[in-house]
Amino acid sequence: MSAGGTWTNFAGDQRCTPRRFERPAGPDELRRVIADAARRGETVRVAGAGHSFNDSVLTDGTLISLDRMARVLDVDRDARLVRVQAGVSLGALCDAMDAHGLAFPNMGDINVQSIAGATATGTHGTGLAFSNLSSCLHSIELTLASGDVVKIGAAHDREAWLAARVSLGALGVVSAVTIQAVPAFRLEAVDTTAPLDHTLTNLDALNERHDHFGFFTFPHSPLAMTKTWRRTDAPARPASPAATWFHDELLTNYAYWAVCRLGRARRSWIPALNRLSAAASGTTRYTDRSDRVYATPRRVPITEMEYAIPRERAAEAVRAVRAIAEQPRHDVPCPLEVRFGAADEALLAPSGGRETCWIAVHQFERMPYEPYFREVEELLAGEFDGRPHWGKRHFRDAADLAPHYPGWDAFQAVRSRLDPGGTFTNAYVERVLGGVA
């Protein structure tokens, strides 16, 4: 047992002082920690890499870090099954899988999250043939408040499986997962700029022509910064170290950070700075290992909200969100990010039951975000039947969210069965899911 202390997320804008902070080194120790907390009547939450923008981790009870449970446990190359402890980071896992000729079929654009945290919140990439990251899971090993471990998979207890894939940590603590990998592959990437109106007019064609398509667009700029990636058998031709540093570090991080700071200091300059940032993006072409294309370093301190809406309304929604972002009352020096995905079966997947367009909005540190985010949320939740990304900021509650998820009642039934005492809850879970029935 260890004393609490203060825990903060990666951005430093979410913090708590738990009564106990535990770092179990293995599944037996994890079972003991959870069972002891339950006997004391304490709630239990888990911190992965701390990469959520909201208060989903915060607790005054027992907080568990799985950073010491980050091993690859078994690799079956023939079946392409990879069993790993829950605390392993996506980046480390990609390296380990590549050594066996395996890969994720799709990923998001950040790889520092833990596998358990990324899947529990419905983290996703882009590409109409691919659902969120949890769709890559083959089974989940879940430790309950009693200390018992249950293995949940698609072949048995299907309702529990569909609940556990995107669970918000409300069912138990994941100790390990088995991933259904695919053969390693390379992606041919083209990152460039195009007129935004042309991009929005041709969204269907762009999605159909590429395995993965998405874009950024700055408020006040007429451009979209597009990312188009295709699977290829061609040999790897990665960008040179100098070109990688120039694009990924100098432009995408340090120059952008400097421009955001200037915009924060001189709010009236933001429209011109945004147009300059978009125009300076240029074009980059390269072919590399898939995960090295999917993920890029993100160092600019921002906060974020992201919404999932029906794909067929993407162009209309992007235009409407940009119109909000361009209002002088909001002062937004950050771009929108737009991605696409397949329908998903997980009960709480924001992309559940429909092809999805994801629209993310951002705000730079120490600039007001709530009025902007609330106005965008009101638009996307109300007019576009939007559902929030569970790992990012939003202002919805259970009563408001429930009608938007056909699997809501089924999830709650599984939650009542696996965590009848409400051990795995906190203020965030109570707010977005309600209490255990």
Task: Tell me how long the chain is.
Answer: 437
**pLDDT band for position 2 (cuts 50, 70, 90):** low
The closest of 424, 114, 34, 52 to 20, measured between CA atoms, is: 34
* Residue 102: strand pairing partners: 183
Beta strand 387-388 with 302-310 is antiparallel
Domains of the chain: 72-183 (3.30.465.10), 186-388 (3.40.462.10)
The residue-averaged pLDDT of 143-156 equals: 94
How much is the pTM?
0.96
The closest of 309, 295, 409 to 358, measured between CA atoms, is: 309
The residue-averaged pLDDT of 223-237 equals: 97
The residue-averaged pLDDT of 25-50 equals: 96
User: Mean pLDDT for the chain?
Assistant: 96
The residue-averaged pLDDT of 81-103 equals: 98
The closest of 102, 114, 115 to 76, measured between CA atoms, is: 102
The closest of 365, 431, 425, 401 to 58, measured between CA atoms, is: 425
What type of residue sits at position 196?
Answer: L
Tell me the DSSP string of 42-60. --EEEESS---SSSSS--S
The residue-averaged pLDDT of 220-229 equals: 98
DSSP SS3 for 121 = coil
The residue-averaged pLDDT of 60-78 equals: 97
Mean pLDDT lowest among 86-95, 236-245, 312-321: 236-245
The residue-averaged pLDDT of 46-53 equals: 94
- Residue 89 burial (CB < 10 Å; 0-12/13-18/19+)? buried
Instruction: State pLDDT tens for residues 293-320.
Output: 999 888 999 999 999 999 999 999 999 9
What is the per-residue pLDDT for 156? 83
The residue-averaged pLDDT of 200-228 equals: 98
The residue-averaged pLDDT of 93-105 equals: 98
- Residue pair 90/118 in contact by the 8 Å Cβ criterion: yes
- Confidence check: pLDDT of 404 > 70: yes
- Confidence check: pLDDT of 124 > 50: yes
Beta strands (DSSP E) in 165-237 are: 173-180, 182-183, 186-195, 212-217, 223-232
What is the per-residue pLDDT for 1? 41
What is the per-residue pLDDT for 248? 85
* Residue whose entry in the numeric block shows the structure tokens 């003991």: 32
- Residue pair 143/175 in contact by the 8 Å Cβ criterion: yes
- List the Cα angle 412/437/424 in 5-degree steps: 70
**pLDDT band for position 282 (cuts 50, 70, 90):** confident
Q: What is the number of other CB atoms lying within 10 angstroms of the CB of residue 209? A: 11
* Residue 65: strand pairing partners: 47
Alpha helical stretches, state H, 245-289: 256-265, 270-279
- List the Cα angle 149/49/211 in 5-degree steps: 95
- Residue pair 212/187 in contact by the 8 Å Cβ criterion: yes
The residue-averaged pLDDT of 149-159 equals: 93
Q: Is 169 left (phi over 0), alpha (psi -120 to 50) or beta?
A: left
- Confidence check: pLDDT of 220 > 80: yes
- Confidence check: pLDDT of 172 > 80: yes
Provide the 8-state DSSP code for 403: G
The residue-averaged pLDDT of 28-57 equals: 96
What is the per-residue pLDDT for 58? 97
Residues 6+ apart with CB under 8 A from 5: 17, 18, 21
- Residue pair 125/108 in contact by the 8 Å Cβ criterion: yes
C-alpha–C-alpha distance, residues 247 and 241, integer Å: 10
Provide the 8-state DSSP code for 313: G
Structure tokens at 207: 């999605």
The residue-averaged pLDDT of 140-155 equals: 95
C-alpha–C-alpha distance, residues 379 and 268, integer Å: 25
* Residue 47: strand pairing partners: 65
What is the per-residue pLDDT for 136? 97
**pLDDT band for position 167 (cuts 50, 70, 90):** very high
